[in-house]
């Protein structure tokens, strides 16, 4: 049973008309699981910071959630080969401040999704250097709520992965002020020692080589 955390378009989101979970990760993961000879089963859609505990406890068998491969996470679970690269972007209101670097956000409330590398970036670049107080770093269960709060003025910036920032900027009155290069790479997550990782890596390679990957990119990133 695969798990994800929606509200992260174009990787995983709920399509309004059908109320269905869709996205680049959803299609990619199902294809990889099936090519590897397994059944995908029903998706579980939960908060991002519950994904690793749910995987290790056996409630889900695979994470497909634009999850960055980090040392911390790699100690708890196994990752497939990377399938996508991203950096962090700083989103602001369309007609508001125009920060060029983190120092320009001094004293301002900033949001990110709980448990993400966006949240780590806020911590490392804003809170630790003393640019903002710990309570000005706002955590959200879902980036959609973070961007709602940005629109309504409760926070002045949101730190989120670049492709998702661009999607929000296309749909709402927000824009990318600057990009902070983190060079993150996403992997699918499996339980530590799950021997299906090899088969799923082979499937991912096949998906890339036969053009399916590029088809998914054009379907979800335009």
Q: Two tokens at 1? A: 């049973």
Residues 94-113 that bind ligand ARG (CB under 6 A): 113
Contact letters for ligand ARG, residues 22-51 (x by CB under 6 A): --------------------------x---
What is the smallest separation between the CB atom of 154 and ligand ARG, expressed in angstroms?
Answer: 20
* C-beta contacts of 53-57 below 8 A and 24+ residues apart: 54/3, 55/3, 55/189, 55/190, 55/191, 56/191, 56/192
User: Under the criterion CB under 6 A, does residue 162 sit at the interface with ligand ARG?
Assistant: no
- Shortest distance, position 14 Cβ to ligand ARG, whole Å: 12
**Binding residue for ligand ARG (CB under 6 A) from 116, 121, 162, 167?**
116
68 is a contact residue toward ligand ARG (CB under 6 A):
yes
Contacting residue, 44, 60, 63, 67, with ligand ARG by CB under 6 A = 67
Residue 80 binds to ligand ARG (criterion: CB under 6 A):
no
Q: Could you say which of 157, 161, 167, 187 contacts ligand ARG (CB under 6 A)?
A: 161
- Window 5-24: contact mask with ligand ARG (x via CB under 6 A): x--x---x------------
- Residue 168, interface with ligand ARG (CB under 6 A)? no
**8-state DSSP, 141:** S
The two structure tokens encoding residue 42: 């029903």
Q: Which residues pair with 113 in a beta bridge?
A: 140
Contact 98, 175 (CB under 8 A): no
Piece of the chain touching ligand ARG by CB under 6 A; list 3-11, 91-99, 128-136, 149-157: 3-11
E strand segments, the chain = 2-4, 13-15, 20-22, 44-45, 62-63, 77-79, 84-93, 110-113, 137-140, 157-161, 174-186, 189-191
Measured between its terminal Cα atoms, the distance across the chain in Å is 29
CA dist 76 and 74 (Å) reads 5
Kindly tell me the burial class for residue 129, based on how many C-beta atoms sit within 10 Å of its own C-beta (0-12, 13-18, 19 or more).
exposed
Residue 66 found at the interface with ligand ARG (CB under 6 A)? yes
How many chain residues touch ligand ARG (CB under 6 A)? 14
Query: Where on the chain is the footprint of ligand ARG (CB under 6 A)?
Result: 4-5, 8, 12, 48, 65-68, 113, 116-117, 161, 184
């Amino acid at each position: 049973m695969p798990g994800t955390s929606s509200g992260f378009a174009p990787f995983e989101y709920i399509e309004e008309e059908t109320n269905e979970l869709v996205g680049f990760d959803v299609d990619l993961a199902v294809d990889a699981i099936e090519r590897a000879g397994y059944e995908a089963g029903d998706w579980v859609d939960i908060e991002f910071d519950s994904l690793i505990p749910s995987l290790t406890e056996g409630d889900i068998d695979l994470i497909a959630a634009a999850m960055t491969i980090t040392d911390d996470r790699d100690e708890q679970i196994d990752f497939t080969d990377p399938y996508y690269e991203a950096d962090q972007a700083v989103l602001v209101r369309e007609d508001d401040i125009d920060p060029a670097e983190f120092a320009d956000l001094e004293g301002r409330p900033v949001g990110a999704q709980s448990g993400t590398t966006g949240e780590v970036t806020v911590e490392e670049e804003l809170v630790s250097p003393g640019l903002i107080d710990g309570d000005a770093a706002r955590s959200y269960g879902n980036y959609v709520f973070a961007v709602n709060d940005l629109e309504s003025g409760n926070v002045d910036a949101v730190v989120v992965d670049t492709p998702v920032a661009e999607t929000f900027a296309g749909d709402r009155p927000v824009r990318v002020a600057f990009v902070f290069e983190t060079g993150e790479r996403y992997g699918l997550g499996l339980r530590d020692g799950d021997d299906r990782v090899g088969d799923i890596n082979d499937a991912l390679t096949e998906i890339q080589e036969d053009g399916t990957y590029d088809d998914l990119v054009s379907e979800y990133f335009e």
